[in-house]
Structure 1
Amino acid sequence: MSKIMPNENEFEEHEQEGIQEWTVQREEAGERIDKYVTESVEDDISRSQIQLWIKNGDVTVNGNVVKPNYKLAADDKVALAIPDPVEVNIAPEAIPLDIVYEDSDVIVVNKPRGMVVHPAPGHYSGTLVNALLHHCKDLSGINGTLRPGIVHRIDKDTSGLLMAAKNDKAHLSLAAQLKAHTVMRKYIAVVHDIVAHDQGTIDAPIGRDLSDRKKYRVTDKNSKHAITHFLVLDRLADYTVMQLKLETGRTHQIRVHMKYIDHPLVGDPMYGRSKGNPIDGQALHAGVLGFVHPTSGAYMEFESALPDDMNHLLDVLRTL
């Protein structure tokens, strides 16, 4: 694993939905399958819901259906296929949207910090999807009833630009661009301490944190290749303002990589420092989004100014 390599490359992040899979590590052997999956699943899902899915055969171990009290062995392959919530009604909600661009194929919105992108079991309201359903007459159905129109995500406590598809043709085009790493996505972040390099690359694999499977960490065990490129924009007191681009789109990648090089994001509730946070959520903003329009074929790029809380944070730092 390497930390920082000087580099001038630039690119974007992508994230795809699908079956969630894990490999049981030696130190996890003996744990009940229901507890293991509850702590491992990306969304906040109750243990009782996980137990029901296990009973229904939506969770498998080495390809086999098991009981909720099954005790895991080292190297077991666990897979969860979250079933389509056919009876769940995701209601449109009149939540204000900051719309940056919209046509019959795609809508680009500026998501505020604190808003969840899509509903999950036990959390079906107040999300970006609820707001989109109220605003748009149609959204693509490729990602099912919980994620209509959603092609990619950003974390709840990250603000910034997000695109959604209004029909399946547009969805397939945007998803293909994400997979091909041709979507332009730039983030602005404020991190702790002074970053010595003006620019560089963090090349370090990311996997589950075995001590807390809601978290991720840099590890060689059961991990995925992850690369983040950075450019220092400013240095203020004991903080650094950075532009970040992702060659890969692993969950929490920016947050994990910044912690790995000992420059965690300011305000990050999961990977940051415990001392007083001047911002509610991590100081991370998806400021630039560019893609090829699904119908016209023209390249389009959008920019979103920093939100007020990050501007205030920078103003405070400049006075130090």
Structure 2
Amino acid sequence: MADQRSLPVPDGLAGERLDAALSRLFGFSRTRAAELIAVGDVLVDGQAAAKSDRVHAGAWLDVTLPPPPTAPMPVAEPVPGMKILYEDSDLIVVDKPIGVAAHPTVGWTGPTVIGGLLGAGHTVATSGAAERQGIVHRLDANTSGTMVVAKSEVAYSLLKRAFKERRVDKRYHALVQGHLDPLRGTVDAPIDRHPSGDGRFAVVAGGKPSITHYDTVEAFRAASLLDIGLETGRTHQIRVHMSALRHPCVGDLMYGADPTLAARLKVGRQWLHAVTLSFEHPTTGAWVSFTSEYPEDLATALELAGRES
């Protein structure tokens, strides 16, 4: 069902092009705004307008937003390279390889953790949206490492709460460009979608509170290996915060990494790995911890960085 929005143009957008004003008001790209204008889904003071028309403060906008696309259901088929680190009747911990999303999303056609588990005959909790049942946290498709999925309904509920209340210890290793000063520190900077609407996230005023702790493990000539702990779990959080410090993850071209260095270290994605995941077991109450070794591409890049130093 389409979503009807009616609102005045705020003073801060007076004089902006209509497509630019819509992009800033609704958070989608100017291309998407232009498409809505072209098909007549945007009225200014009750009249059709062109994307290049300038808007004035107080002008009344009537916008018809199409219903959001629905995520596909998971395809139950085994995922090559996805290892099981631990399993019991309540949860299953996987070592997620790159190129695998946590669950199906709009526009993603590749393999998923949930589909891989179902395809291998594992059961998962039925709580949550149909396309992401059992999923209590996520890793980016091209971030490897430890990830837990709930199998029982009680585990789903308690693990979701533990992640929300920040009672889970998530440790990552990241190889970032250059050397951080200070060598140990905290990044406390809000994150939200990048104004460009191109799928990136960014540090923006008014974004969601985001806190990242880092500690330098080893410094190489052109890069540093960091141990990172998260207090919050925003999308792309480590990648965004490291980029904001001007030390993007090696290979993370989306967030400004040097392609020459990435090629030299033979890494084709962001050098970021979820090394350890620790939490209170939802039914036994025991503190449990699971660790993942570096996959081959990250280990090779680290070795090459060492040779250069």
Relative to the length of structure 1, the TM-score reads: 0.75
Q: Which amino acid aligns with 2:276?
A: V
Q: List alignment gaps of at least 5 residues for structure 1.
A: 1-22, 41-46, 52-66
Q: 1:197 to 1:134 in 2, by over 3 A?
A: same
Q: List alignment gaps of at least 5 residues for structure 2.
A: 1-6, 45-54
1:3 aligns with: none
Q: Which amino acid aligns with 2:93?
A: V
Q: Which amino acid aligns with 1:227?
A: I
1:188 aligns with 2:173: yes
Q: Which amino acid aligns with 1:281?
A: R
1:270 aligns with: 254
1:62 aligns with: none
Aligned mates of 1:80, 1:249 — CA distance in 2: 29
Of residues 188, 193, 200 in structure 2, which corresponds to 1:203? 188
1:302 aligns with 2:287: no
2:95 aligns with: 110
1:281 aligns with: 269
8 Å CA contact retained: 2:250, 2:258: no
Q: Give 1:268 deviation, angstroms.
A: 0.6
Moved more, 119-128 or 278-287: 119-128
Matched position secondary structure for 2:297: helix
1:99 aligns with 2:71: no
Q: 1:137 to 1:308 in 2, by over 3 A?
A: closer
Alignment of 1:138-177 (within 5 A): 138-177=123-162
Matched position secondary structure for 2:174: strand
Aligned mates of 1:290, 1:318 — CA distance in 2: 29
2:222 aligns with: 238
Alignment of 1:45-56 (within 5 A): none
Q: 1:233 to 1:79 in 2, by over 3 A?
A: farther
Q: Which amino acid aligns with 2:267?
A: I
Give the root-mean-square deviation of aligned CA atoms: 3.3
1:229 aligns with: 213
1:317 aligns with: 305
1:55 aligns with: none
8 Å CA contact retained: 2:70, 2:106: no
Relative to the length of structure 2, the TM-score reads: 0.77
- Matched length: 271
8 Å CA contact retained: 1:218, 1:260: yes
Aligned mates of 1:207, 1:259 — CA distance in 2: 14
1:179 aligns with: 164
Q: Which amino acid aligns with 2:230?
A: L
8 Å CA contact retained: 1:200, 1:231: yes
Alignment of 1:13-162 (within 5 A): 30-31=18-19, 39=29, 69-70=41-42, 89-96=73-80, 97-162=82-147
Q: Which amino acid aligns with 1:237?
A: R
Aligned mates of 1:298, 1:193 — CA distance in 2: 39
8 Å CA contact retained: 1:188, 1:241: yes
Deviations 1:153-197 (A, max 9, x none): 011111100000012211001001101111111000000011122
Q: Which amino acid aligns with 2:269?
A: G
Q: Which amino acid aligns with 2:297?
A: D
8 Å CA contact retained: 2:104, 2:112: yes
Identity of paired residues, percent? 35
1:258 aligns with: 242
Q: Which amino acid aligns with 1:295?
A: T
More helix by share: 2
Highest RCO, 1 vs 2 (Cα 8 Å, sep ≥ 6): 1
8 Å CA contact retained: 1:259, 1:265: yes
Aligned mates of 2:65, 2:151 — CA distance in 1: 30
